[in-house]
Structure 1
């Protein structure tokens, strides 16, 4: 898995199902940071304060990454909700994702095995229909060049998914571009070729 580009949720996504008379509502959302994940979980809990359980799990980072994860059974028997949900997320092929499974108890006990299957299945169902977009880790590159090269450089930008962050006009033109980290090497080469070496390339800065 390329840690610089990977699928993430495109937005809030919700699915529902009834399992032996219990109603399960699964809500998934983008979670680029742990703070975002916790804020989303709090929002869903606030939306369903009368639910029997609001179990949750999140994975911040590339798909399958365990560096920043969290989970909670929220009152279900230990290990029957949060852990199976997290396992489903880690195998779901999506990164930067948080999910809450809200349960309204319908009167039929599912047993530990039944709960594990239910919570696993809820997350899998949500992921199967989850609209995704691509997270692209971007960096910034400062560039100084002659006025004669401006038009040529601007024509290059779409090919390298580069955008102009700032520009300064003096004896030469100074730009700061933002582009995917995977495109930096090729973009540097293209700039050097276009300007026949008449370009000053700064250090690559991390986004933000």
Structure 2
């Protein structure tokens, strides 16, 4: 899995379309529960709004861990789905988009709604700060005490972070490192120990 971008900071944006006001909030979220918590916050804050439409996407927008959307009473397919489409195209991972609509008395029609909700999120996305995420690999290393100093040098060289260290008959280290460094580190570990270091892949 390659690097991907996520929303780093919250964004608020206002759009007027034929007297209707569309207030967009982009909120960084790391899981579904957090997204739903923020959604409840906006619903309570804007109880008088005609609609509170939303979409969220967690993880890499090209291979999302989870995603969902809602039209919140707007005609089906005119709000949530176009909002999610913008998040995907702009590669705004770990992002909840909420668009609060105050109806201005002029109906926009299905096409007009799709354009308005897409524009609301797209314009907010232009103000967004993104952060690049590198996928990580986690390893458990089992090695002799004599090799520990050399292994720690290699860890520093390959940007591996020590998570836990356990000293019994042998040294047990749990480390996390950028996925792109994984193969090179494993090769070096085998080279310095003639295959004596036990390497076990750990699930996230």
TM-score by length of 1: 0.83
Alignment partner of 2:201 out of 191, 199, 204: 204
User: Could you tell me how far 1:102 is from its partner in structure 2?
Assistant: 1.0
User: Could you tell me how far 1:152 is from its partner in structure 2?
Assistant: 3.2
Q: Which runs of at least 4 in structure 1 moved beyond 6 Å after TM superposition? A: none
Q: Residues 48 and 158 from structure 1, CA distance in 2 versus in 1: closer, same or farther, beyond 3 angstroms?
A: farther
2:114 matched residue in structure 1: 116
Aligned partners of 1:69 and 1:103: how far apart in 2?
Answer: 22
Asked if structure 2 preserves the Cα contact closer than 8 Å seen for 1:145 and 1:198, the reply is no
Aligned partners of 1:66 and 1:180: how far apart in 2?
Answer: 19
1:42 matched residue in structure 2: 40
Determine whether 1:153 maps to 2:178.
no
Can you give the 5+ residue segments of structure 2 that lack an aligned partner in the other structure?
A: none
Can you give the 5+ residue segments of structure 1 that lack an aligned partner in the other structure?
A: none
Aligned partners of 1:66 and 1:146: how far apart in 2?
Answer: 40
2:76 matched residue in structure 1: 78
Aligned partners of 1:187 and 1:152: how far apart in 2?
Answer: 12
Asked if structure 2 preserves the Cα contact closer than 8 Å seen for 1:57 and 1:72, the reply is yes
Aligned partners of 2:156 and 2:52: how far apart in 1?
Answer: 44
Aligned partners of 1:123 and 1:97: how far apart in 2?
Answer: 11
Aligned partners of 1:186 and 1:111: how far apart in 2?
Answer: 56
Asked if structure 2 preserves the Cα contact closer than 8 Å seen for 1:141 and 1:201, the reply is no
- The alignment of Structure 1 onto Structure 2 pairs a total of residues equal to 204
Aligned partners of 1:115 and 1:65: how far apart in 2?
Answer: 27
TM-score by length of 2: 0.85
Aligned partners of 1:173 and 1:66: how far apart in 2?
Answer: 37
Q: Deviations over 1:127-158 (max 9, x none)?
A: 22211223333332111233343333333334
Determine whether 1:90 maps to 2:88.
yes
User: Could you tell me how far 1:117 is from its partner in structure 2?
Assistant: 0.9
Aligned partners of 1:143 and 1:158: how far apart in 2?
Answer: 15
Alignment partner of 2:21 out of 14, 20, 23: 23
Q: Deviations over 1:91-114 (max 9, x none)?
A: 222323221111122333323222
Alignment partner of 2:99 out of 85, 98, 101: 101
